[in-house]
Amino acid sequence: MVAALVSTVAIAGPARATPAARDTASASAVAAAGTLSGVIASRGSGEPIAGVWLTLLGSGDAKLSAHAVADGAGAFTMDVRAGDYFLYLVDPNGEHETGFWGAPALVSVVPGEVTTIDPFMDRSTGSITGVVTDDVSGSPLAGAWAIALSAGGAPEAAAVTNSSGRFTMPDLRAGAHRITYLDPSAAHVS
């Protein structure tokens, strides 16, 4: 005689929250969140910077907490859990210095509120302006060439002087440059 043993096993599915419990959890999450917004601008000129990448890093653990891209007017908005953060900025166009805003500055997001900050970035480029003159008479030299060289001697930019001997070379990277002058008429020594 063969006897069969049958047992019943109950398999439990994942616990399900009641609608009231879900509403309470959602309300807690919303209350613990805040919003960070503002306009990113270039230091000095105050011009808004479009397309900047903004990242919030936790002040205690440097964990990525939120990110955004500034719109065409330099404006941004990030929803994030309330707390203290550091703001890291990147200009993908390379016209401004990448790095933390401030030294870095601590940004505190308050639960249920909009925290507004207006960070700025330092330009990574600048310009050189000068006047080329005859070293004997001091008269300005129109049509002379001013050439910017890197510290290693590589050409970076050039400009031609106007009727007052003045030149400007914009968009040079921050740092040391050597400026050399050339008179294309060969009337002056370079």
The enclosing H or E element of 26 equals helix 19-31
Q: What is the mean pLDDT of the chain?
A: 84
CA-to-CA distance for 9 and 30, rounded, in angstroms? Answer: 40
Specify whether 112 is located in the same domain as 134.
no
Does residue 114 share a domain with residue 78?
Answer: yes
Give the CATH number for residue 78. Answer: 2.60.40.10
pLDDT at residue 160 tops 60: yes
pLDDT on residue 151:
82
Residue range 148-159: average pLDDT?
Answer: 88
List pLDDT tens digits, range 27-70: 444 458 999 999 999 998 899 999 999 999 999 999 999 999 99
Which tokens go with 113? Answer: 């509120």
Q: Give percent above pLDDT 70 in the chain.
A: 84
pLDDT greater than 50 at residue 167? yes
Q: Supply the pLDDT for residue 19.
A: 52
Q: Residue 7 has what pLDDT?
A: 40
Q: Of 17 and 148, which is predicted with more confidence?
A: 148
pLDDT band, residue 18 (cuts 50/70/90): low
> Is 187 among the domain residues?
no
Q: Pick the more confident residue, 79 or 176.
A: 79
Whether 89 contacts 67, CB under 8 Å: no
Closest residue by Cα to residue 105 from 85, 77, 80, 90? 85
* Whether residues 58 and 84 fall in one domain: yes
> Based on the domain organization, do 73 and 117 belong to the same domain?
yes
**Residues 116, 37: one domain?**
yes
Both 110 and 168 in a single domain?
A: no
Q: Are 70 and 49 in contact (CB under 8 A)?
A: yes
End residue of a domain, out of 121, 144, 160: 121
User: Is 93 or 74 the better-scoring residue by pLDDT?
Assistant: 74
Domain shared by 68 and 136, yes or no? no
Residue 176 exposed, middle or buried by CB count within 10 Å (0-12, 13-18, 19+): exposed
Cα-Cα-Cα-Cα torsion 140, 143, 144, 150, nearest 10 degrees, comes to 120
Looking at 86, 104, 121, which one is the last position of a domain?
121
Residue of 76, 141, 138 lying closest to 107 (CA atoms)? 76
List the structure tokens of 146. Answer: 């001013």
Both 133 and 170 in one domain: the answer is yes
Choose from 68-77, 124-133, 175-184 the range with maximum mean pLDDT: 68-77
Q: Is the pLDDT of residue 17 over 70?
A: no
Q: Is residue 85, in this structure, part of any structural domain at all? A: yes
Give me the number of domains the chain comprises: 2
Q: Which residue has the higher pLDDT, 11 or 128?
A: 128
Its domain, for residue 144, covers 125-182
The whole-angstrom separation of Cα 183 and Cα 190 is 7
